[in-house]
Structure 1
């Protein structure tokens, strides 16, 4: 393993088992995920090389524990970053064992830092703030309106919103107008469209029947993540919103709005396409409301019987 691209391994040198194990692991992933996983393995490889260890054959559990301490004390990585690196390392050695490059994963019992989520950072905009932002966006430009609606009213990730094409939302299914997209991890999704959303998307499409839905006002090129972040920041200032809101913050706002509106947790999980309901539950502003505590429900249920 060296500084060559691991997926496109060079054919002009003899490949080691380490090269093949790393390439085989990274080949499972694509895009940003592959890049971040490759970065982790490069950090581990350099650390192993500096300590005279072969990444594949010499590493034991105690070496990996020392590596995590190195990340904390020498690289000054935060607990979330260390946990991410640990997860990648565990995955790499697990598949190295599956593929018979090693007998047993040295990361099987590797300690993972305990993380505590700052729940306040996941709540996004309040109802009136989100409404003001949507109105400001629609009044600004059709593309602005469609971008904010896709993220704030449908909960799309910024990359998903930028990838929407005009033909993607022209489908009908079971009496509903729907948007068909490919989401995180390559998972296809069908998203029903409320009337307000359809109007915003139609305004952005104009007379076009195909091609990218969101075109930048400045040059007519398709919207990208960087441009979308600029649009969100500009519209937040214009709407008088002082909070620092990123495009992903609008997805947070969507999930929180669903829960505040009383939608069942399971329905919100499906709408947000979260793999775990615990992720969705982080956004529930009312979960610490003692008026909603289950004790009251049980007391009412047992009234007259106990």
Structure 2
């Protein structure tokens, strides 16, 4: 398996040669799956890291065994993340191995390998009931929105729209920055937005009056600056001064800057995902059924939605109280 953009692998493979190098095979694998652009980029990095690891050991990826994958995984577990300064979490290592397993499944279908070496590897245990994301209380979310409201300057209206979309819809940051002006619409009396979610699934969500107002105010300001009517605006919904799409790193910095201005103690550890967790927790606390929150967040598994609900173990929500109250009503 040789590529012009990777070192030649010393060990010959007993398996049939691929029609192209690792990079081309990876691109073919990605085209074969319905994935968002952000997920594709993440998977490219994951597979690229594995190929680099193999090349450094003169190991043909087609001849790798579960022992090699185990060695690679243990190395990942001791790798320090550049952003956090801490070792990669078990969830991050498990996600990278999941991408690698999918890549090998694709090679298996091509009959380029006889077995998937990741299948027999020792993957890290991931606690489905835990998330490392730092959450926000409803009061902290309110303070974050208030901080956005007090901002002034050329990007203030855009920033208010971005924070409102994160807070009221619980969007993933990738979903947020991928929105286009054309994704906005109206359905059955609701202001709405359509987008492609995780896994390439088409999604639609309702805009709350507050979020709709923030988005409209931003677009009106942007249209006036361009000398256009709002209906003629096109391109990314959240744009930079040059008209380019706002990137995810800018949104990370925005959340932390506003959190610091709002006096939120854990501002340095917050991320756009913190608002997504807050969305799930608050929705459940307000009595929104789990399945409705699950649908809104685009989760395939309700256990994922429950993990986002930071208040799920609050004894105020113990079903025993509801059963006792119902019994009391029956007794009159």
User: Normalised by the shorter chain, which TM-score bucket?
Assistant: 0.7 to 0.9
Residue 276 (structure 2) pairs with residue 276 (structure 1): no
Match of 2:69 among 61, 64, 67: 64
Give 2:170's aligned residue. 155
1:300/1:77 Cα in 2 relative to 1: closer, same or farther (>3 Å)? closer
Give 1:9's aligned residue. none
For structure 1, the residue ranges without an aligned partner over 5 or more in a row are 6-14
Bigger relative contact order, structure 1 or 2, given CA contacts below 8 A and separation 6+?
2
Give 1:187's aligned residue. 201
Equivalent residues of 2:280, 2:305 under 8 A apart: yes
For structure 2, the residue ranges without an aligned partner over 5 or more in a row are 7-15, 81-86, 221-228
Give 1:288's aligned residue. 313
Q: Distance in 2 between matches of 1:272 and 1:279?
A: 10
Give 2:59's aligned residue. 53
Give 1:197-216 correspondences, 5 Å limit: 197-206=211-220, 208-209=230-231, 210-211=233-234, 212-216=236-240
Q: Distance in 2 between matches of 1:44 and 1:197?
A: 42
Give the deviation of 1:271 after TM superposition: 1.0
Moved more, 286-295 or 265-274: 286-295
Give the deviation of 1:220 after TM superposition: 6.2
Match of 1:35 among 36, 41, 50: 41
1:265/1:101 Cα in 2 relative to 1: closer, same or farther (>3 Å)? same
1:46/1:265 Cα in 2 relative to 1: closer, same or farther (>3 Å)? same
Q: Distance in 2 between matches of 1:219 and 1:74?
A: 37
Match of 2:271 among 246, 254, 258: 246
1:195/1:239 Cα in 2 relative to 1: closer, same or farther (>3 Å)? same
SS in 1 for 2:311: helix
TM-score (ref. length: structure 1): 0.80
Report the RMSD for the aligned CA atoms in angstroms: 3.2
Give the deviation of 1:272 after TM superposition: 1.1
1:154/1:62 Cα in 2 relative to 1: closer, same or farther (>3 Å)? same
Match of 1:227 among 250, 254, 260: 250
Give 1:93's aligned residue. 104
CA displacement, residues 169-202 of structure 1 (integer Å, 9 cap, x when unaligned): 2x22223221122223332211112222211111
Give the deviation of 1:72 after TM superposition: 4.0
Give 2:84's aligned residue. none
Q: Distance in 1 between matches of 2:314 and 2:172?
A: 29
Give the deviation of 1:42 after TM superposition: 3.5
Give 2:5's aligned residue. 4
